Structure 1
Amino acid sequence: MFADVNVIIHKALTDQSSVSKRLTSNLTGWINRCYSIHPVESSFQAFMNEFAENIFTLKGIYGVWIFGQSPDNPGLKLIASCAEINKEDHAVLTKSFRRGISSLEEPWKIVSRNFRKSQLFVGRHQLQPDNELSVFMLPGFNIDGKVVVVIVAEAELEELFTGTLPGMFQNILEYSKLRYENTDSIYRLLVENQNELIVKVDARGRFLFVSPTYCKLFGMDPGQLIGQSYEPLIHPDDLEITASAMKQLDHYPHTCYVEQRAQTVLGWRWLAWSDKAVLDDNGNIIAVIGVGRDISEQKKIEKELVESELKFQKAFRNSPNLMSISRMSDGLILDLNDKFLSILQLPREKIIGKTTVELGLYSDIPRIKIQEQLKQYGRIEDIEITMTRLNTKIEGLFSSEIIELNGEKCLVSSFNDITELKSAQRELDTYRIHLEGLVEQRTARIREVNEELDRFAHSVSHDLKAPLRVMQGFVNAIIEDHSDNLDSEVLKYLHRINKSSLQMEALINDLLQYSRLSSLELNLKAVNPAIALGKTLEILSDEIGAKKAVIVVADELPFVRSYMPVLVQVFTNLISNSIKFVGDGIIPKVLIKCRIKDDKVHIIIKDNGIGIPPDKQKRIFDVFERLHGVESFPGIGIGLTIVKKAMERMGGEVLVKSSPGKGSEFILVMQSVK
C-alpha cells in the first residue's frame, strides 16, 4: 500500500506548479517518516504528534493543528500542534480553528485567504512577496473517531492540498486503523489456532482468559472458567509442586516451569506449563500468562524408558553371561555383573575405572578387527576369544554393542563361557577322527570282501558253467547222432535236460550280474536315455521280431544322472518282460513316455501285458519271485530284482502301477541334469 501511495503523491506533486515542485526535494523522506509510525507500539497521541511534526517540516507549511473527536465525547479536542508563535496567539488561533471545523461541510475547505496575521509566522519562513497564507482543514476518520488536520500554508499550495494530500491523509488514518485491527485479529487468530494451551490468570490464580484449546481439553466454556481458580483442576498430589514453582515468578526473570497432572475430558493428563508474570509500574504481579502443552505421551515414553532401563538392569545383573559396560573413549570399565565378579574373584571397586588391558583379561582378543566392525556395524557378535584369570583359561564367545549413556558412547559387552562346550567339542573331534579311521578301515575291508566275492562269483560261474556245457554237448550229440534209434520218451527227456541246462546257465548269468551290481563302482554322470534305449532295442531285436512287438517312444527323453551300461540293463529287463508277459494271440505293445516332476525325470514304460495283481506288486522285486510257472512264461524271477538294485545304485527308484488284464506301468525315477 505504501508504495502505491508514494507513487500517487510523487506524481501529483511533480505535476503541480513551480511552488509545489519545491516540495519534491524532501517528499520521499517525509512520506517514509509518516508511514514508519507504529501505532500498535505507541499511543494514538504519539502517532498524531509525529504526523504533525512530519507535516510541519515541509516547505511552505507555517502551522499544523490536529483535532480529535471520539464517539463518547463529541467535543473537539486539540491533539497535536506545530507552529512557531507565542502562547497567546496559539490559543486564539486554536479557538478560531475549532469554530471553523464545526461548520466544515466539505472534505477540504479553504477557510480564509490573505491571512491577516501572517506576521505571526515570520519567524519560521520568509513569506512570499504576495504575503498570502491560507488555512486548509482536512477531516478524516480513525478507530478513535473523527480527526481533523488544520494546516496554515502558502496559498500557492492550494492545488497540492486539494488534489493530493486528502487521499494521502485518509490512507494514513486507514493504515493506522488497519494496523490496530489487523494486529488484534492476527493475535486473536494466533491464540485460537494454537495447539498449545494459553491462559491468563490474576495474582490470585483466577482465570482472566482461556484459549479455545484449553476449553476443549477441559470440556468447559470460557464462562465456566473465567473468574474461577485453576487449582481444582490440578491433581492433589501436584498442588504443592505447582505452588512452589509459581513462587519463582516473584524473582527475575519472573518465569517458571512446572509439570502437573490435570483432570480433563480425556482423564488425568500430564501438562507442562511455561509461565510469565505481568508486572505493574511498581513491579507487582498483576497477572500471569501461561502457555501449556499436553506431555502425556512424553511421560508415557519416559515411564516406558524407565521400565525398560530397570529390565535391562535386571537382565544385566542376572545374566548367566559375563556382562560389562565400558567407555569407548578410553576403555574404562563402568560396571559389570555379579557373574563377572565371581569369575574374576575381585571386589567391584578394584575393577571399576580400569581397562581390560590393565586387568590382563583377554590374551588373544583381535582388537583391530573388533574396532573396525564396531565402527562399521555398531556391534559384533560371537567372536571366539580366551580370557585368562588366575592361571586359568576360559574360552568364550564375545559380543558387544554401542550404546549411549548420559550422552557418551559406551560398549555393553557379553562373554559367554563355552569352555565346557569347547572341551566336549575337542573330545568329539577325537572320537570323530577315531571313527573316520574305523570307517576307512571298514571300507577297505568291505572293498576287499567285494573283490573276493567278485572273484568268487567269476570262479563259481566258471566252475558251474563248465559241467553245464559238457552236459549240453553230450545231450546235443546224442540227439543229433542217435535220434533215429531212440524212442520218443527218451528224446523228450533229452530235450528237457537241454532246456534245464540252458535255464541254469541264464540263472548263473543273472546271479553274476546281480552280484556285480552290488560291488560295481558306478561313475554317475549325464546320460542320454535315448541312446541307452537304442542299445536296448538292438539287444532285443530278435525278441521284438519274433513277437512282432510294437515299441513307441512318445516323448523326448531328457538327460539324467545315470550310468550307461546299468541303464541299458534296466531298459532291457523291463522291455523284455513287456514283450514276454502277454496273453495268447496278443501282439506286445510298449509305450515309452516321460514326465518332469520336482526336478525328477519320470520315464514310464507301459505295456499291454497280463498285468500284476495289487497284492503281489511288492513281491515282484524280490529275488527268485515268480508269479507264473515256467511252463506259462519262461524266466528265473531275478530280472526285476536287478532293476530295483540298479535304480537304487544310481540314486533313483522304480515304481509300478498295474491291474490284471490291463497291462503294467513301470516308472523309473531319476535325477535330472540341468
Structure 2
Amino acid sequence: MSSSDRQSIVLAKILIAEDSPTQAQRLRYFLEQQGYEVRVVGNGRLALAEAAQFRPGLLISDVVMPEMDGYDLTRRFKADPALARIPVILVTTMSDPDDVIRGLACGADGFILKPYEERYLLGRVQYMLLNHEFGATENSGMGVEIFFNGQRHYITAGRLQILNLLLSTYDAAIQRNKELGQIRDTLERRSAEVAAANLFLDSVIENMPNLVFIKDAVDLRYVRWNRAGEALLGHARDAVVGKRDRDIYPRELADHFTAQDREVLTHGTALDIREEAVQTRDKGIRMLHTKKVLVPDGLGRPGHLLGISEDVTEQREMEREIRKLNTELQERAKHLEAVNKDLESFSYSASHDLRSPLSVIGGYVGLLEKRYAGQLDQTGLEYLSTIRSNVKLMSQLIYDLLAFSRCSQQTIASADLDMNQLVHGVVQEVLQGYPVGKTPRLSVGPLPPASADPGLLRQVWMNLLSNAVKYSGKSPNPEIEVSGRTEGGEIVYSVQDNGAGFSMEHYPKLFEVFERLHGAGEFEGSGVGLAIVHRVVTRHGGRVWAQSKPHAGAVFHFSLPAGRS
C-alpha cells in the first residue's frame, strides 16, 4: 500500500446506518481509533439525508432497520448520481441465500457477516476504499436476468461490484464454516467431557457402599440400580430397571414408597427416613436409613428422584444395646450413690459415736497416771503411755474421718477467692508454735485467684502445707515453695518441698483413705489428709497429681477450672 493510499484511507469519511446503539457505538469507536471520521444514524431515511451533507467515502449499513432497510437504502444510494459512486457494505447475518441476490439487485458492493471480527471488518473497509476509484470507471449499466429459487431477478451491476459482492459472500461462507468448525470442535470437546463426567459418575454410583437408585419423575420407574442394591436387597439390576415399586415389593410397601416419592417431587424438599424395615430376598428384614431428593431437569422441572439407602441394622441393634446398658448403668449408679450415702452416713455416725468412749478412756488414763503412778512399775507406766498414744491416734483418725465425711457431703458454696491471702493465713497457722530456729523456709509466689468454696479450699491448703512441713522436718535446711499459674483452661497450684519424698511405684494408692507411704514411727498421721485433698478438688471439677523420689522431696499439684474464676 502506497503512502498516498494510506493517506486517503486515513482521511476517508464513513457513514454508519445502524439502529442498535450498542453496535453503532462499538463500530464507531473502532473505526475512529483507526483514524477515520465517522457519523452514525439510526435508519436508512436518516442516512440518505446525512449523506448529502457529510459526503462519505463509504457507507456501512445494517440490513434490518426500521423505516428503511439496508437493501432499500443501498438501492436509493446507487440511484442518486451524487451518491452512486460511494461503495456500500451491508452488515447481515446472511441466514438466507437470497441475501446475495438481493445484495446484487440493490447494487451493494460487499457483505460483512455478523458477528464479525474487527480485523476482518477493517480489511474489508480498506479494500473498498482502495478500489473505489477503479470501480467507479467501470460501466455499471450492464444488466442480466437470472432465476434463483423459482424467482426472476434482474441484476444491474459492474463486474468489479459483482466480484466484490461474490468475494464478500465467499469470505462470509469461509467465516461461517470456520465458526461452525470451532463449534463442532467445542461440541466434540464438551461431548468428551460429558462422557468422562458420566463415566466418573457411573463409577462413583457403582462403587458406593450404599444402595443408590434413580427413578424418573413421571411414573417413578427405576432408571438406575447400583451393585450395592443388588447385594443388599437381592434384586438384580435387570429385574429392577424399567420397573416400578409395585412390580418388586408387596403392594402395601410399594404404596408406602410411592407416597414418599410423590411427596418429594411435589414439595421439592429432601426426605430423610431414619429407619425403615424392608424385606430382602436373602438377608431377611433389614433396617434402612434412606434419603430421597428431587433432581430437576434443565428447565427446573422435576426430572428424576435420587435415593440413597444405608443398611443400619447392626447400628440400630448396637444403639438399642447401648441404651439398655446406659439404663442399667444409671440404675447401678443410683444404687451406688445410695450405698455411698449410707456408708458416709454410717461413717459419720460411727466416728461421732466413737469419740465419747475414747474421751472416757483418755480421761481414765489420765486419772491412773495422776493418782496411781507411784504404785505402778515401769512396765505399767509404759502401758499407760501406749494407751494414751493410741487414744490420741484414734481421736485423730476419727477427727479426720469426720472431716473427710463432711467434705464429701458439704454443699459447695463457691466464691471469688484471693488465693494469696488465703494461703498466707494458712501458712501462719501451720507454722504457729514451731520451735524457734527450726522453722522451715517457706516462700509463696504470686497465686492466681479462683472461684471455690473458701472453707473446703482452706482445708486443701492446710493438708498440703502441713504435709510439706512434716515430711521436710528432718532435712538439714527444710524448704517449701508455693506457686501458681494459668495453663489453658486450668489454674494450677503447686506445693514443693525438699523432704523425705516417696517412691512413685506406690503412687496409685497415694490419695486413698488410710494409705500411708511412711511408717507411723517415721512420721505421724492418719493417712486421710491427701484423700480429703483429692475429694475436695475433684468435687470442684479439678484434678490432683504429684511427682517425687525417695529422699529428694515431693511436689503436689492441684488444678481448678479457670472458667470458674
**Unmatched 5+ stretches in structure 2:** 1-10, 14-47, 62-77, 86-108, 124-147, 150-162
How far apart, in 2, do the equivalents of 1:640 and 1:543 lie? 19
Report the CA distance between 1:404 and its aligned residue.
3.2
How far apart, in 1, do the equivalents of 2:224 and 2:528 lie? 75
Report the CA distance between 1:306 and its aligned residue.
1.3
How far apart, in 2, do the equivalents of 1:387 and 1:414 lie? 16
Contact 1:536 1:568 in 2 (8 A): no
Map 1:266-665 → 2, pairs under 5 A: 289=174, 291-292=177-178, 299-313=188-202, 321=211, 323-327=213-217, 333=221, 335-337=223-225, 339=229, 351=244, 360-362=255-257, 365=260, 374=269, 380=270, 382-384=272-274, 396-404=289-297, 410-416=303-309, 418=311, 420=313, 425=316, 428-429=319-320, 431=321, 434-462=324-352, 464-483=354-373, 490-514=380-404, 520-521=408-409, 523=411, 526-530=414-418, 534=422, 537=425, 541=429, 543-547=431-435, 553-560=444-451, 564-583=454-473, 590-607=480-497, 609-613=498-502, 615=504, 618=507, 620-621=510-511, 624-658=514-548, 663-665=553-555
How far apart, in 2, do the equivalents of 1:574 and 1:425 lie? 50
How far apart, in 1, do the equivalents of 2:50 and 2:243 lie? 82
| SS of corresponding position for 2:432 | helix
Report the CA distance between 1:474 and its aligned residue.
1.4
**Identity of paired residues, percent?**
20
How far apart, in 1, do the equivalents of 2:171 and 2:402 lie? 119
Contact 1:606 1:665 in 2 (8 A): yes
| SS of corresponding position for 2:499 | coil
Contact 1:400 1:412 in 2 (8 A): yes
Aligned-partner residue type, residue 255 of structure 2: G
Contact 2:502 2:551 in 1 (8 A): no
Contact 1:644 1:654 in 2 (8 A): yes
| SS of corresponding position for 2:257 | coil
Structure 2 equivalent of residue 231 of structure 1:
none
How far apart, in 1, do the equivalents of 2:274 and 2:370 lie? 88
Aligned-partner residue type, residue 558 of structure 1: P
How far apart, in 2, do the equivalents of 1:533 and 1:515 lie? 27
How far apart, in 2, do the equivalents of 1:373 and 1:523 lie? 56
Higher Rg of the two aligned structures = 1
Contact 1:324 1:337 in 2 (8 A): yes
How far apart, in 1, do the equivalents of 2:375 and 2:172 lie? 152
Map 1:126-141 → 2, pairs under 5 A: none
Structure 1 equivalent of residue 119 of structure 2:
190
The 1:40–1:2 alpha-carbon spacing in structure 2 relative to 1, beyond 3 Å, is closer
How far apart, in 2, do the equivalents of 1:585 and 1:318 lie? 73
Aligned-partner residue type, residue 668 of structure 1: F
How far apart, in 1, do the equivalents of 2:563 and 2:543 lie? 16
| SS of corresponding position for 1:362 | helix
Report the CA distance between 1:605 and its aligned residue.
2.1
The 1:450–1:598 alpha-carbon spacing in structure 2 relative to 1, beyond 3 Å, is same
Structure 1 equivalent of residue 558 of structure 2:
668
The 1:455–1:37 alpha-carbon spacing in structure 2 relative to 1, beyond 3 Å, is closer
Contact 1:361 1:387 in 2 (8 A): no
The 1:602–1:477 alpha-carbon spacing in structure 2 relative to 1, beyond 3 Å, is same
Q: Greater strand share, 1 or 2?
A: 1
| SS of corresponding position for 2:491 | strand
How far apart, in 2, do the equivalents of 1:30 and 1:587 lie? 116
| SS of corresponding position for 1:473 | helix
How far apart, in 2, do the equivalents of 1:438 and 1:286 lie? 89
Contact 2:223 2:242 in 1 (8 A): no
Give the structure-2-normalised TM-score. Answer: 0.55
Alignment coverage as a number of residue pairs: 420
Q: Deviations over 1:197-226 (max 9, x none)?
A: xxxxxxxxxxxxxxxxxxxxxxxxxxxxxx
Aligned-partner residue type, residue 425 of structure 1: R
Q: Deviations over 1:16-71 (max 9, x none)?
A: xxxxxxxxxxxx98982892575999xxxxxxx999x559xxxxxxxxxxxxxxxx
How far apart, in 2, do the equivalents of 1:666 and 1:188 lie? 85
How far apart, in 2, do the equivalents of 1:365 and 1:553 lie? 72
Report the CA distance between 1:558 and its aligned residue.
2.6
The 1:545–1:460 alpha-carbon spacing in structure 2 relative to 1, beyond 3 Å, is same
Report the CA distance between 1:602 and its aligned residue.
0.2
How far apart, in 2, do the equivalents of 1:316 and 1:571 lie? 65
How far apart, in 1, do the equivalents of 2:521 and 2:349 lie? 31
**Unmatched 5+ stretches in structure 1:** 4-27, 42-48, 56-79, 81-179, 195-250, 253-277, 375-379
Report the CA distance between 1:416 and its aligned residue.
1.2
Q: Deviations over 1:282-335 (max 9, x none)?
A: xxx9997465355656533421211322444566678752512334xx676573
Report the CA distance between 1:597 and its aligned residue.
0.8
Report the CA distance between 1:553 and its aligned residue.
4.2
Aligned-partner residue type, residue 610 of structure 1: G
Report the CA distance between 1:600 and its aligned residue.
1.0
| SS of corresponding position for 1:636 | coil
Structure 1 equivalent of residue 39 of structure 2:
none
Contact 1:658 1:665 in 2 (8 A): yes
| SS of corresponding position for 1:400 | strand
Contact 2:430 2:465 in 1 (8 A): no
Aligned-partner residue type, residue 257 of structure 2: Y
Contact 1:362 1:387 in 2 (8 A): no
Aligned-partner residue type, residue 642 of structure 1: I
How far apart, in 2, do the equivalents of 1:361 and 1:527 lie? 61
Question: Relative contact order, CA 8 A, sep 6+: which one is greater?
Answer: 2
Residue 35 of structure 1 pairs with residue 52 of structure 2: no
Report the CA distance between 1:510 and its aligned residue.
2.8
Structure 2 equivalent of residue 118 of structure 1:
none
| SS of corresponding position for 2:260 | coil
